[in-house]
Amino acid sequence: MTEKLIFTGKTHNTSGRDGGARSSDGQLDIKLKQPHPAAENLFGAAWSACYMGALDVAASQKNIKLPAGTAVDAEIDLNSDAGSYFLRARLNVSVPGIDPGVARELLGAAHGICPYSKATHGNINVVTNLV
């Protein structure tokens, strides 16, 4: 298998009262006065966007067109235990008008496609809910 680079995201992050994150392409320019909850919100936004794309790929592989209103709501929890920090996540996915059994198959397939799901697999507790 030959690896092919598709995209490199480049961001610059600064701290403090005027802190923020900015991408080199200008698509992202956000003020971040404190590291969290911004980090968890950004991670949730990035993961849910990636998962949405993976869900679309999974559906197209089965010749299914995702309906309007398909959505992914990510909930990222920052937790601590004896001074150690860790994450937990829930992905709440709505695929209106698709048979629930078929939708669950698509959700499972999307986790196998989404790079964020692959990166977190076995590293954090993730629950995927069909809503």
Residues 130, 107 contacting (CB under 8 angstroms): yes
User: pTM for the full model?
Assistant: 0.87
Residues 79, 87 contacting (CB under 8 angstroms): yes
φ and ψ of 104, to 5 deg: -65, -40
CA angle 107-4-117, nearest 5°? 25
Q: Locate 97 and state its tokens.
A: 């008008």
Per-residue pLDDT of the chain (131 residues; tens, 9 = 90+): 799 988 999 999 888 778 888 999 999 998 887 766 778 989 999 999 999 999 999 999 999 999 999 999 999 999 999 989 999 999 999 999 999 999 999 999 999 999 999 999 999 999 999 99
Tally Cβ neighbours within 10 Å of residue 8.
6
Residues 14, 20 contacting (CB under 8 angstroms): yes
Q: 């996540």: which residue's tokens?
A: 89
Q: Locate 92 and state its tokens.
A: 């709440």
Q: Locate 65 and state its tokens.
A: 């067109």
Domains of the chain: 1-33 (no CATH), 35-130 (3.30.300.20)
pLDDT of residue 129: 98
pLDDT of residue 118: 97
